[in-house]
Structure 1
Amino acid sequence: MADKNIAELEVLRRQLQQLHESFTAVINETRPDNPNLISWPDLLSKFNILAAKYAVLNQAITKKHAVLLKEMSIAPKTRPGSIHEQNIISVLLRTKLAPEIEQEEEEIRARAEAELQQDRKLDWSARAEKHESLAVSALSTFLEQRRKHAATVDALVNEKLARDRGDADVEMDGAQGMREGGEEAKVTLEDVLAFMSSGVEV
């Protein structure tokens, strides 16, 4: 291995060691049995420092030295001596989550799926209500326009009938209709067809 690569790895090792020491110090200062607990502002300050160190190390590994690390395989110099060290290595190399973490993730997925289904139901309910509102509004508008159109047709038909029969006859027929039925004479189907065939625009 070239001396340049060894120097780069040594820099990464020192950064990782510093980050590990900082984590250990913060963990010790926040233990419940520690008589000198740090204040909340100091804890936030230390956390920001840890986050900055981690970001610098992560950027160096993933961007600056990514090619170098992909071409290398790293192994410890000595075998782990104690059972504790062996357990640490087995935990770091494991691919399956711990049972409690796996159960917690399953619960989170179940809650997220339930919330998603609930959101979908609410969304469709809102769409259905909006559709019904638009349908009712359209029906009301159609009926109103239909009533106006029917009134216009009746008025034009009556006007044409008045011109054909003469004003005097219309007044007499209207008076007779009021006396007999108590209401105005209705327009018959023949009158409407005759009006439509006359070519008068509505």
Structure 2
Amino acid sequence: MYLPSHFEESDPQALHALIRDYPLGLLVSHGEAGLDANHLPFELSPEKGAQGTLEAHVARNNPVWSELRDGDEVLVVFRAGDAYISPQWYPSKQEHHRQVPTWNYRVVHAHGRVRIRDDERYVRGLVARLTRTHEATQETPWKMTDGPADYIDEMLRLIVGIEIEITRLVGKFKLSQNKEARDIRGASAALLARGEQAIGAAMDDCAARREG
């Protein structure tokens, strides 16, 4: 990934936080037919391995798990929003007009080594953890025990676990850091007014850090 230094985010806590807040990752791998990409919700275990471990499951009918071998290198891409940035939002544009449009975004690329986990106990535990994480916001959280045991067993037989030990994390938070703080503020205010909260709020935080 092309990564100018002013857009680089290297703080592991910030990168882990993005993954937790935006857990739908794009798993990129190489199979018999060439490159393959699968969108999967991941569970991050930051305490496992030097840089954390990602866990997900795929349908047993998905060939990705049978084409991968333990130890194969894969890439998982996480994205935390994106937004078009109009030069009209920069106060400095009104003074010298030396501004052009751009697109801002925050992404984390997690490189790692895969391990296929085709065993019922592991998959059951993973699904239980994913369920607890994402049902926590519900007034009455769904539990695996809410479903008939034979039905849950059948569903678990239809999926296979994937575990990825992260070997390298690369973060790119493109938030107009190459602009003046007032221009970052101007674009942030415009985004927030349009309801584009993810990038608008991130740019607002960026401007606050710039201003000290």
Normalised TM-score (structure 1): 0.20
Normalised TM-score (structure 2): 0.19
Which structure dedicates a bigger proportion of its chain to helix?
A: 1
Larger-gyration structure (1/2): 1
- Which of the pair has the greater relative contact order for Cα pairs under 8 Å at 6+ separation? 2
Which structure dedicates a bigger proportion of its chain to strand?
A: 2
